[in-house]
Structure 1
């Protein structure tokens, strides 16, 4: 038998996959390393709950490995030996411990992929990379699927994934329920009924981790209740949230997944994205748990609730990852609409008279969370209508949400939300006046502004911003068939009305703190 090389294996903070084949047995020649680093806390200003969540989940995972007799080096944020950078820590550990081989799992972020490739090129020992064993697809599967096609329509990729993995299929070719997509059933406004069960919460004391973060001097945004931290940070926690979702929330998830309400932070959403994006849960086990519960309760749960959930994970999540690896590194610089404005200051304090923005941003600051419609049609919609530079929008979204890792954040933000990629992800910009927000929420009811008015002092800012945006960007949309109707309506507007719209929009964009 060949002699086994003394090996150092790296585990990144979003690679907490308990079921990875690496851990099937403990071997004396293998040492794992996990690191809390300023490199990762400082590349963007993160929400305090995000930093706490990652540190806590990493520490819980390290205990899991130690309990199974794996050899592990764990560098905490304030350890004297911590060089605070991935490459420096690895080089130091290899030098001091005479490791003969370095291994790592393929990272999900381009910057870490490049950093690890460069590190391996500079090491004079053997190196090897492994799959993270998490996703349904590999990095290039989506690119191969769309080869030769003009548009990267997600729906076709989603159907391919359903067939390939036999998920919600009646036969090899036919979807369960007779339709591939029940999106039109997923747009109900929540008006107080049905009652929403309290989320599966946690009352964790994170004061020790918070003290370490403060000692390190890490700059953060948002707030935290140090004795009532409310996110899952272990596999046990994550499974508990998954089971709670299936039993209590799935029954109405699809109906109200796009709804917005001032008194509800989570509605019927699962709160599983952090657990999946750190790999504490595998997307396959999440989908299987939901479908199994559906099959056991078919009399009570409609397929539209389940399909809407499956589409977000098997469709959007895998699709966005595929787009990321297909389009990077250029994707992070795309700004096809040439937007240049700064993000308003109220994105960091929720101090605005616009009720929809106030509640969505307040939720983000207090809970490191907002669901996809708050992100897309409130904060994202406003940023696009005010023609904010996508770099600024990226930085905010990447920092403020606990589940934000670049591979999933940037494609949703720069592509789906800001149309900065010119239509790679979305076939048209996701913009609207105040009418959409009014249709899906109760935000407009007690707002300082009137959604029914257009250019008056108390008119909803979204109304003038919307038509001003279409007017300002009409050249970019002249060849977009999905925008033809709105451009046609724009062309029919009275010149005097358009003058008032432009003046009102200019005032909002130039003085956002006044609104």
Structure 2
């Protein structure tokens, strides 16, 4: 009798075209999938994320059985569940006689280490569902003084041929940001992503998650995610037809009561494996070629996937497991409690946090220029910020989340990802949203009791980090502006900024 091997399939590896499955033999080997407490609890994930993954895992296990695989699946409430991935592999080995396991490389160093140090030998194959492998990214990065995404993106365009005319970019330009990122006009709205009804499998999972995780940050009500590949493909078709035509124009816009606008919300499905980068990008390219989508929208969307998404993954694996601990600015303030409640007088923060609680989602500008911007200005410990983002979003996995937060949002890596910190006062938020119109603070006020905290903290941040940033060519103009201000005004601004920081330290309402 031939001894079987175990094939580990993780919750974010819900793809038929998985390297470990290609290496396996469906007539001999046993697929192992497991819902375990160690993966729900290393940070207290949003219950909607847990529900999405468990329902999608159960359906993918059923699909693998249908196409001929033997699958050993452990539910969270199985009384024999060891509640860890290595523990479930060992239990499966005891039951099947397997002496080894194979898997596809996880997307988090934490889990890679757990498998390498586990009691059963596990051989991990590269995750080739991505466009750019580790060696290719390292070869691109080697010897460069700056690892700028734009240059990487152009290489990926050439490699894939997406929106290329020979060796030239379609339309003669690599990106169309000049046509993108318009402020929202009055009345801007969108129906948002395709919403899916829950079936029996999903309802069973929702009951389990509500019982086990109902007291966590975030609401489980109104669950609408697709939980299988068919639903994810329908969500892709819906986005291409309904929202992509306007995505470029309004990708940075923010509107009260409109958490989605024209964004795709496909990262939830892509990062779990239900959709692949190629089919998503080719659908966008085809819509542009058919004349249904303008070039600025198609290019801007494709850049997010083969440019930014692949670049961020390359940074994560190149920089190593200690990346999330970087803190070059020495930020050490605790994350304010209102990040967990939305209980703040700042309308922009309240809007973005409460929407995140409800939907396990916020779009990239809400993450970068509202919640991330405030944390950076206020000197919040970047590791706490990193863990908050990992908790609250359904599409968050460490490979994609940590470089976006530690690097792009918090500048804690000292400039590996971004050439400057992404900070702004209230004017940017006012220009790109309608939040400020109903805020308790006055965005036009630069000082005084009702001055926007973003305005005060912006100058406070620049002042306390002057030695690091005043020679940065992208920031020098702001220091010249600061230096031209009246001395009394500057002292007032710094003092009032310190008052806000003191309120944060005391836990007072801001």
Q: Please tell me the TM-score bracket, short chain as reference.
A: over 0.9
CA distance in 2, matches of 1:192, 1:245: 23
Q: Deviations over 1:345-394 (max 9, x none)?
A: 11111111111111011110010000000000000000110100001101
Taking the TM superposition and a 5 Å limit, the aligned residue runs for 1:363-442 are 363-442=355-434
Q: Deviations over 1:214-270 (max 9, x none)?
A: 544686311121xx3111211011000100011111111101001010031101001
CA distance in 1, matches of 2:357, 2:211: 22
CA distance in 2, matches of 1:197, 1:55: 27
Q: Is the 8 A contact 1:42 1:219 kept in 2?
A: no
Q: Is the 8 A contact 1:5 1:101 kept in 2?
A: no
CA distance in 1, matches of 2:338, 2:440: 16
Q: Is the 8 A contact 2:4 2:96 kept in 1?
A: no
- CA 1:214–1:425 in structure 2 vs 1: closer, same or farther (change >3 Å)? same
Q: Deviations over 1:397-437 (max 9, x none)?
A: 00000000000000001100000001000000000000000
CA distance in 2, matches of 1:144, 1:328: 16
CA distance in 1, matches of 2:192, 2:110: 38
Is 1:321–2:313 an aligned residue pair?
yes
Is 1:275–2:275 an aligned residue pair?
no
Shift of 1:184: 2.2
CA distance in 2, matches of 1:475, 1:353: 32
Task: Quote the residue 1:64 is aligned against.
Answer: 63
CA distance in 1, matches of 2:189, 2:369: 24
Taking the TM superposition and a 5 Å limit, the aligned residue runs for 1:151-166 are 151-166=146-161
Task: Quote the residue 2:50 is aligned against.
Answer: 51
Q: Is the 8 A contact 2:17 2:129 kept in 1?
A: no
Taking the TM superposition and a 5 Å limit, the aligned residue runs for 1:129-148 are 129-148=124-143
Q: Is the 8 A contact 1:18 1:280 kept in 2?
A: no
CA distance in 2, matches of 1:21, 1:192: 48
Q: Deviations over 1:420-472 (max 9, x none)?
A: 00100000000000000011111111111111101111111110110010001
Q: Is the 8 A contact 2:32 2:92 kept in 1?
A: no
Q: Deviations over 1:46-93 (max 9, x none)?
A: 111111111111111111112223111111111111101111221222
Shift of 1:192: 4.0
- CA 1:195–1:345 in structure 2 vs 1: closer, same or farther (change >3 Å)? closer
Q: Deviations over 1:189-215 (max 9, x none)?
A: 122466524431123265532332354
Q: Is the 8 A contact 1:461 1:508 kept in 2?
A: yes
Q: Is the 8 A contact 2:7 2:21 kept in 1?
A: no
Is 1:167–2:167 an aligned residue pair?
no
SS of equivalent to 2:10: coil
SS of equivalent to 1:128: strand
Taking the TM superposition and a 5 Å limit, the aligned residue runs for 1:241-280 are 241-280=235-274
Task: Quote the residue 2:230 is aligned against.
Answer: 236
- CA 1:346–1:99 in structure 2 vs 1: closer, same or farther (change >3 Å)? same
Is 1:178–2:172 an aligned residue pair?
yes
CA distance in 1, matches of 2:276, 2:128: 9
Task: Quote the residue 2:73 is aligned against.
Answer: 74
Q: Is the 8 A contact 2:347 2:439 kept in 1?
A: yes
> What TM-score do the two structures reach when normalised by structure 1?
0.94
> What TM-score do the two structures reach when normalised by structure 2?
0.95
Taking the TM superposition and a 5 Å limit, the aligned residue runs for 1:295-334 are 295-296=289-290, 298=291, 300-334=292-326
Task: Quote the residue 1:15 is aligned against.
Answer: 13
Q: Is the 8 A contact 1:83 1:89 kept in 2?
A: yes
CA distance in 2, matches of 1:16, 1:469: 43
Shift of 1:187: 1.3
Shift of 1:290: 1.1
Larger deviation: 23-32 or 399-408?
A: 23-32
CA distance in 1, matches of 2:74, 2:215: 20
Number of paired residues? Answer: 504
Q: Is the 8 A contact 1:77 1:216 kept in 2?
A: no
Q: Which runs of 5+ in 2 are unaligned?
A: none
Q: RMSD value over aligned CA atoms?
A: 1.8
Is 1:339–2:331 an aligned residue pair?
yes
Is 1:188–2:182 an aligned residue pair?
yes
Shift of 1:95: 2.3
Shift of 1:19: 3.1
